[in-house]
Structure 1
Amino acid sequence: MVVTAQELTSIVLPTAFFARPARAVAPELVGCLLVRQQPDGSHLWGVIVETEAYCQSEPACHGHRRRSPSNATLFGKPGHFYVYLTYGVHHCVNVVTDRADWAGGVLLRAAELPGEAERSAAGPGLLARRFGIDRRHDGAPVAAGRGLWLSPRPEALALAAADLVQTERIGISQGRELPWRWYLRRSRSVSRRAPGDPQPSRRPLG
Structure 2
Amino acid sequence: MLDKYLKIEEVLFPKNFFCRHSKLVAPDLIGCYLIKQKNKKDQVKGMIVETEAYSQEEEACHGYRKKTKSNNSLFGKPGTFYIYKSYGIHHCLNIVTDKENFASGVLIRAVYIPKKNERLASGPGLVTKTFGLDLSFNAHEVLNNKSLWISQRDSNLEEKDLIQTTRIGISRAKNIKWRWYLKNSRSVSKRLKGDRTPKFK
SS at match of 2:105: strand
- What are the within-5 Å matches in structure 2 for residues 34-183 of structure 1? 34-143=34-143, 145-155=145-155, 158-183=156-181
Write the letter of the residue equivalent to 1:55.
Answer: S
Per the TM alignment, residue 144 of structure 1 is displaced from its structure 2 partner at its CA by 5.2
**TM-score (normalised: structure 1):** 0.92
Number of the residue aligned with 2:8: 5
> What is the CA–CA distance in structure 1 between the aligned matches of 2:107 and 2:8, rounded to whole Å?
26
User: 1-side partners of 2:8 and 2:194: how far apart?
Assistant: 38
Distance 1:144 1:101 in 2: 21
Q: State the Cα distance separating 1:160 from its structure 2 match.
A: 1.5
* Count of residue pairs the alignment pairs up: 198
Give, as a single letter, the amino acid of the residue that structure 1 aligns with 2:12. V
Quick one: which amino acid aligns to residue 59 of structure 1?
E
Gaps of 5+ in 2: none
Shift of 1:5: 3.4
Letter in 1 for 2:175: E
Query: Which residue in 2 is equivalent to 1:201?
Result: 199
Question: 3-state SS of the aligned residue for 2:84?
Answer: strand
**TM-superposition CA deviations, 1:62-115 (whole Å, max 9, x none):** 000000010000001100000000010110000000000000000000000010
Counterparts of 2:182 and 2:7, CA distance in 1: 22
**3-state DSSP of counterpart to 2:68:** coil
Cα offset, 1:4, TM superposition: 4.0
Contiguous gaps of at least 5 residues in structure 1:
none
Q: TM-score, normalized by length of structure 2?
A: 0.95
Deviations 1:129-161 (A, max 9, x none): 000111000000002533110101123xx3211
CA distance, structure 2, for counterparts of residue 54 and residue 37 of structure 1? 27
Over the matched positions of the two proteins, sequence identity in percent amounts to 47
* Distance in structure 1 (CA, Å) of the matches to 2:128 and 2:46: 12
